[in-house]
Amino acid sequence: MMNSSIIYLLTDNIYSILHINNNLKFFVIVKKRKLTTVLVAVALLMPMIITRAQDTLVLNLNKAIEIAMSENPTIKVANKEIQRVDYGKRERIASLFPTISGTGTYGKTLAKSKNVITMNGVETILQFGVDNTFSAGISASLPIISPTLWAMLKMNETDAELAFESSRASKLSLVNQITKAYYSILLAQDSYEVFNKIYQSSFDNAKIISDKYKQGIVSEYEWIRADVQQRNAQTNLVSAKSAVYLSKLQLKLLMGLDMFVEVQTTGKLSDSEKDMYAQILETDTTSLDVNTDLKQMDIKIKQLKQSLNVQKTAWLPTLGASISYSQNAMGNDNVNLSDYTTYPASNIGLSLQIPIFQGGSKHYKYKQMQIQLSELNDQRDNLKRTIDLQIINCMNNMKNAIEKIESNQKALAQADKALTISQKRYEVGAGTYLDVTNSELAYTQAGLSYNQSIFDYLSAKSDLEKLLGKEN
């Protein structure tokens, strides 16, 4: 929920009204007689503020992933690619059906051919042809035996399989990115709490020293040090707040949300600490059957083998059938169209093509594809070793992170205790301000290290789940 408050400040004859909330900051300065008007204006603004607060989207990790699966452009593109492959499959199946086409022609004779015949010394000029020629018909062809086409149809299922696996790879990658982005927000928020505690401590210390300085108990140098320490702590706090804001923007980008939508995450990094040992024990790293990179490589190898079979069919003969029917009409300009006589024509035939010799191009192409297949197998072996190395690295990172968490958790507890003691000692005059600043620095380092170690574990765990092809 959005924090909102109204503060009234009275100075002489002027009221200052400060309205503070997370998204709206303004001052309204009025004289006494205008106070009622301002209160009414503020009252009218409150429903707007409440409405903006209700627009905040509260997220946990599963909800963030669910929204991303429906809104992220990468997932939309992957789903459209599946549709494209499906249409490609239907296109190839359509090649098995007859191809039917209609034709229509018209011809106008500009100059008819002539021939001269001489008989008994008399030349007779004969004219051949007609002024107009009409023709309309329909034809169809059908492949009867086409080994290449049949082999290509078998590749449809493999193409669809690769499209589905590519889509699954996109989803796994997005889940990995969303998970890391979500934990980055938690890391930024937990780090902000560390800096905020140090800021509050430095603020309290600066106030105490300021009072002592005014009373002449401490030197000006110590007051200056306390003031600088407080301002440095404030700078760190502002930077931490900026980190939270930027990490939320990154999550909204991955989720496909509008950048102006307010999001609020739930939980803390430490909430996952209790399940870490069980997660490591339950993780099976021996099977890579559903690793998306290996599966895609296997499908590509399968595709290339099918392409080899298609290339083999190029040496086989093909047989096709064709049939056509047409109506033809001819006549001169001085003849009515209704008097034209049409002449039907039709034919049916078979076409057999037998490849005999093409200079060895098919043979050499087949050899090239065999080499490509051998290269893919070598690449798969190397990919398998690389994935094994990545899995080992992720497991080591998780185990090391757990050891760091245990150590950093104890260090944080001790640093917190030391900070409290140093503050009390300084308040009663038994300690120095240097002890306080050292305690604040130790607490900051311990708190940030503790949060970072948990984030490192969760990040490595997310990478491991991606490598194993684990889906939520």
Query: Does position 15 have pLDDT exceeding 80, yes or no?
Result: no
Other Cβ atoms closer than 10 A to 85: 18
Q: Is the dihedral of CA 214, 219, 224, 225 positive or negative?
A: negative
Single-letter code of the amino acid located at 258: D
Could you say which of 354, 383, 400 is where a domain stops? 354
Angle, CA 469 vertex, CA 465 and CA 472 arms, to 5°: 70
Q: What is the pLDDT of residues 163-203, one digit of tens each?
A: 999 999 999 999 999 999 999 999 999 999 999 999 998 89
Residue 156 forms part of a structural domain: yes
> Residue 52 — very low, low, confident or very high, per pLDDT cuts 50/70/90?
very low
Position 255 pLDDT exceeds 70:
yes
Looking at every residue in the chain, the average pLDDT score rounds to 82
- Model confidence over 385-412: pLDDT tens digits? 999 999 999 999 999 999 999 999 999 9
pLDDT of 284:
78
The tens digit of pLDDT for each residue in 315-355 reads 888 888 899 999 988 888 777 767 777 888 899 988 888 88
Question: Which CA distances in Å does 35 have to 30, 44, 45?
Answer: 6, 14, 15
Same-domain pairing of 72 and 161: yes
Residue whose C-alpha is closest to residue 440's, from 167, 287, 226: 226
432 and 360 assigned to the same domain: yes
The C-alpha atoms of residue 229 and residue 174 are separated, in whole angstroms, by: 42
Q: How many CB atoms lie within 10 A of CB 197?
A: 18
How do residues 271-328 score in pLDDT, each as one tens digit?
A: 888 888 787 877 777 788 889 999 999 999 999 998 888 888 888 888 888 999 999 8
- Residue 119: predicted pLDDT: 75
Q: What is the dihedral of CA 195, 198, 202, 204, to 10 degrees?
A: 120
Q: How many CB atoms lie within 10 A of CB 169?
A: 18
Classify the phi-psi angles of 267: left when phi > 0, otherwise alpha if psi is within -120 to 50, otherwise beta. Answer: left
Q: What is the pLDDT of residue 388?
A: 93
Per-residue pLDDT, 333 = 77
The pLDDT assigned to 213 comes to: 85
Domain for residue 292, yes or no? yes
State the pLDDT at residue 444: 93
Q: 416 and 457 in one domain? A: yes
Q: Which residue has the higher pLDDT, 25 or 358?
A: 358
Q: Do 139 and 241 belong to one domain?
A: no
Among the ranges given (95-99, 101-105, 110-114), the one the predictor scored with the smallest mean pLDDT: 110-114
pLDDT at 472: 62
The radius of gyration of the chain from alpha carbons, rounded to an integer in Å, stands at 41
User: How many Å apart are CA 440 and CA 237, to the nearest integer?
Assistant: 14
**Residues of the domain holding 198:** 61-97+148-316+356-467
Residue 393's contacts (CB-CB under 8 Å, 6 or more residues apart) are none
| H or E element, residue 334 | none
Supply the DSSP symbol for 259: T
DSSP letter at 316?
S
Same domain, 141 and 164: no
On whether both 302 and 330 belong to a single domain, the answer is no
What mean pLDDT do residues 49-60 have? Answer: 64
